[in-house]
Structure 1
Amino acid sequence: MTTPPNPDQKTAAFSGIWPALLTPLNADLGIDHATLAVHCKSLIARGCPGVTIFGTTGEGPSFSMAERKEAVEQLIANGIPAAQIMVSTSCAALPETLALTRHAVSAGVHGCLMLPPFFLKGVSDQGIIDSYRYVIDGMGQDLPKLKMYLYHIPQVTGVSLSHHVIATLKQQYPDTILGIKDSACTTAHSIGLAEAFMKDLTVYVGFEPDLPEMGRRGSTGAISGLANFMPRVVDRLVTQPDAPTTPAERERVIELIGLLDSYSLMPALKGIMAMLSGEPAWLRVRAPLVALSADEFTALEKTIREFGIDPESD
C-alpha cells in the first residue's frame, strides 16, 4: 500500500536556483575557502536562495571526506547560513556517503544530494535501492532532519535511477525524499519523470535549455552549473517559462553551451569564472581533469567576451 503524500512535502523542497558550485583551488590544489565563500555570498546577493557544493560541477568525488567536511564548516564560519547550503555527499564507499550525510545534517544544511552507487556497473534496481536505504536508515535519530534529493546523471555514473527505484524510495521514505535532480540532459526523460512523480515530489533538471518546459510542468528551481555566472538568466528560464523574453534567453543559453562544446566542460566553466573574477584559483582543477592551457584560456576568453556575460542582468 502506498503511503499517502505528506501535504507539506512539496513546500519543504527547495525552490529557486541553487548553483552547482565550481570549487576554487589554491596552488597546492587544496580548496580555496575564502574565494569559495566570496563566490557564495555574491550568488546569494544576486538572488540565489542557496548554493550546492561538491556535485559533478564541483568535482565532488575528487575530494576526500575530510576536505569536504572542512569546506562545509568553512562556508558556515565564513558567513554562509547552513540552511542555504545543499551538499552532495556521494562517495564510492557507502560508509563515507553516510558519514558525509550525517555531518551535513548535523551542520544544519538544507539537504543532501546523493548519486546512486557509481563504481560498479550493471547493478540491479534492488542494489540501488539498498544503497540509498543504507544511508537513510543509517541516519538513526537524525533521520527526521534529512532532506534527500536523488541525483540522476547516468552519462557520468553509468548507473540509472529507474522509475521503479524512485517510486520505491518515495514510498518507503515519503518524508525524506523530496526531489530528483535529473541531469541526463534528455528532454523526453525529464518530461517522463515530471509526469510520473511531480505530484509527490519536485523534479529539477540540470540541463538549462529544458528549464522552461519543466517550469511549465511544476518544477520550481534548479541546481545549475551555468548559474555560477548567470544565475538570473537561469532563474528566469524556470520561474518565468512563458515570459516574452524567455525564448531569446533560452537560445542564448543554447548558444553558450555550444561555444563550450570544444572544451572539457568543468575546466571551461572554471575558465569563465577566472575571466570574470580575475582570480587564478578558478583555473585549477583536480586530476583526472586537466586545466585549460594558456592558449585554450586565451581562445575561451575571446569567445566569451564576444558572447558577452553581464553580471548585472545575467
Structure 2
Amino acid sequence: MTASSSLDGVLAPVLTPFGPDLSVDEARFIRLARTLMDQGLGLAPFGTTSEGNSLSVDEKIGLMDALAAAGLDMARMMPGTGCCALSDSVRLSAHAVTLGCGGVLMLPPFYYKNPSEDGLFAAFAETIERVGDARLRVFLYHFPQQSQVPITLSLIERLLKAYPGIVAGAKDSSGDFANMEAMCTHFPGFKVFAGTERLILSVMRAGGAGCISANANIHGAAMLDLVRRWQEPDAAKHQTALEGFRSVMEGLPLIAALKAVTARRTGEPEWRRVRPPLVQFPVEREEELMERLKGIGVLG
C-alpha cells in the first residue's frame, strides 16, 4: 500500500487538549488519537479543529513525536504543516516525512490577502524543494472562508505538473461540491477529501478519496461506514442520517462544542479548555446539545 492510499477514508482532525495553564496535554491527546484510530480513522492533527494555528511549531513537533512514540500508525497521519512563515512549513513538513507520515495538509500562507497565483505557486514550490524528499506527499488545504486565500484549479494544475507524485491531493472545506467535482474530474488520481460529512456520498461518487471533518472526533465511525459502503443501495439513507447530525452541530462554535461533548463523553472536564481567542462552550447549553445528539442516536 502506498502512503497516499493508506490515507483514503475518513481522517479526524484531532482536538487538542490543554492543561490549566493552556499548555498542551500530551497524554490526553494521545488517548483521543488512539481511540479514533481504533475506530479505523486516520488522523489529521493541527488543522482548524485542532486549533493548529494557536500551536507553536515546537508544540506540533512534540505532539508528532508523541504519536510516533505511542506506536500509532504514522502512515495514517496527515498533520497540518502549512504556516505563514516558509521556514515553519519546511520544518514541520520535513519532520512529518522523517516520522513516516502518509502526507501533510498544507494551508497556503494566509496573512497576505489576494496573493498572485505566481506567489502561491512559489510558496508551495519552495517548501517542497527545501524539504527535498521524494517521500513527501502534499495535500492542499482549500478553506477560503477561513484563510481568505483560495487554492484554484489552475494553481493545482501548475503544481501537479511541477511536482507529480508529491502534490497528492486536497482537502476542500469550501462546501462547494462543484469545485470538488472539478478537482476529481480534471486531475485523475488527485485525492480529494470533502471537508464536510454532508458531501461524502457526492464526493465518493465523483471519484473522491474520503472526508476530513471536525465532527469525526465524535461521529467518525458513521462517516467511515458510509465511505466504505457508498456503492451500496442504502448509501443515500446513511448520507441523510449524517446530514441530520451535521445540522445539529452547524451554527455552534464548533471547536468549543466538540470539546464540550468530548468532556461529557469522557467524564474529563479538562477537555472544555480552548486557547484564546476561542472561548469555552457555555455550560448551560451543554445539556441541550447532548439531548439533541442523543435524540438522533449519536450518543447512547
Give the TM-score category using the shorter length.
over 0.9
What are structure 1's unaligned runs of at least 5 residues? 1-7
Q: In structure 2, what is the equivalent of residue 267 of structure 1?
A: 256
Q: TM-score, normalised by structure 2?
A: 0.93
Q: Could you list the per-position Cα deviations for residues 121-171 of structure 1 after superposition, in whole angstroms to 9, with x for gaps in the alignment?
A: 01111111011011001113xx21211111101011001111110000000
Instruction: Tell me whether 1:247 sits opposite 2:236 in the alignment.
Output: yes
Tell me which residue corresponds to 2:139. 149
Give ranges in structure 2 of 5+ residues lacking alignment. none
The reply to whether residue 135 of structure 1 matches residue 127 of structure 2 is yes
1:32: Cα distance to partner? 1.5
Correspondence 1:1-314 to 2 at 5 A: 12=5, 14-48=7-41, 50-140=42-132, 143-197=133-187, 199-310=188-299
Structure possessing the higher relative contact order (Cα contacts under 8 Å, 6 or more residues apart): 1
What SS does the corresponding residue of 2:79 show, helix, strand or coil? strand
Q: Is the 8 A contact 1:9 1:201 kept in 2?
A: no
Aligned residues: 300
For 1:91 and 1:104, how far apart are their aligned partners in 2? 14
What amino acid is the match of 1:86? M
Letter in 1 for 2:154: H
Q: Could you tell me whether the CA contact under 8 Å between 1:9 and 1:178 is conserved in 2? A: no
Whole-Å separation in 2 of the counterparts to 1:151 and 1:9: 21
Task: State the shift of 1:310 in Å.
Answer: 4.8
Q: Using the alignment, how far apart are the partners of 1:250 and 1:152 within structure 2?
A: 23
Distance, in Å, in 2 between the alignment partners of 1:22 and 1:299 is 22
Letter in 1 for 2:217: N
Give the secondary structure class of the aligned counterpart of 1:30.
coil
With normalisation by structure 1, the TM-score equals 0.89
Which amino acid is the alignment partner of residue 282 of structure 2?
S
Assess, with a 3 A threshold, how the Cα gap between structure 1 residues 84 and 12 changes in structure 2: closer, same or farther. closer
Bigger mean CA deviation after superposition, 166-175 or 102-111: 102-111
Displacement of 1:10 after TM fit? 9.5
Contact 1:61 1:90 in 2 (8 A): no
Q: Report the residue type matching 2:252 in the other structure.
A: Y
After superposition, give the CA deviation of every residue in 1:192-218 in whole Å (9 maximum; x if it has no partner).
222212x13111111111111111122
Q: Distance in 2 between matches of 1:215 and 1:236?
A: 12
